[in-house]
Amino acid sequence: MNTHKQDIIKKLSEKSTVKYKVYDNTLAVFEKIKSVIVETTNDIKQGVSGLDIEIPVDYKERGKFEMELKVAADLVIMTMHSNVFKMPDSHFVRQTAYVKENPYRGYCGIINIYNFIADSFKYNRYNDVGHLIGRLFINNENHYFVEGKKQLGFLFNDFTNQIIDDEQIKKIIYTSILFSIELDLVAPPIDSIQQVTVGEMNQITSSISLKTGKKLGFRFEYEQAKNIKKK
């Protein structure tokens, strides 16, 4: 029994301590992201203020673990997961000398970055789809990396040397906004939307309820029905 008690105390003093530190670091970064997004919103507003057409740029905090930034027709939504995760053995960070030296460095908190169409929320189009465009990982020493699409997937992957700070946060935010703006809404082939239910038709005038989503990875949602594996 004494051995079991000692094992529990050891695990609590090592693993649990690391996990709490990871959580604290991730929450601190998430709070910092909120303040940086406020600055970013003001900067973009000033930049587009002289245009002939008014472009909406707004920030809204949706809760302790969720925020959104609206830029024109796009919403960039960031959420923080309240749990801490161990990176799988096959992941590249587990192969670095930095993590091999101390495996607890491979425990990370996660901040997810999503892109949605703003009108999907405005008109309550619950069938519309958004995309997870990036995931920010932070460990107990504030080292970080980002998994994501295009620039988000290769600009921030030096986990051994990258330490999160205000400048890095700003780069991640701007990169996320640029990717979202460049990801265009593409009309699906007519064959994929020929059938419409009576319920959907009755709601079109009030909520435009037909599913809407951007093109990502050169696949459309309708292809799932044809058993084509979506990347």
pLDDT tens, position by position, 160-194: 999 999 999 999 999 999 988 887 666 667 776 66
| Closest to 66 (Cα-Cα) out of 101, 99, 109, 114 | 114
pLDDT value at residue 207: 54
pLDDT at 214 over 80: no
Question: Which ranges of the chain would DSSP assign to H, the alpha helix?
Answer: 2-11, 17-48, 97-101, 118-122, 151-154, 166-182, 198-207
Whether residue 71 contacts residue 177, with contact meaning beta carbons closer than 8 Å, is answered with yes
5 pLDDT band (50/70/90 cuts)? confident
pLDDT value at residue 113: 94
CA-to-CA distance for 193 and 164, rounded, in angstroms?
Answer: 45
More confident of the two residues 225 and 144 = 144
Q: Give this prediction's pTM.
A: 0.80
The percentage of the chain sitting over the pLDDT mark of 70, rounded to a whole number, equals 80
pLDDT tens, position by position, 120-150: 888 887 778 888 999 999 999 999 999 988 8
pLDDT value at residue 139: 97
More confident of the two residues 105 and 8 = 105
Q: How many CB atoms lie within 10 A of CB 155?
A: 14
Structure tokens at 144: 């970080």
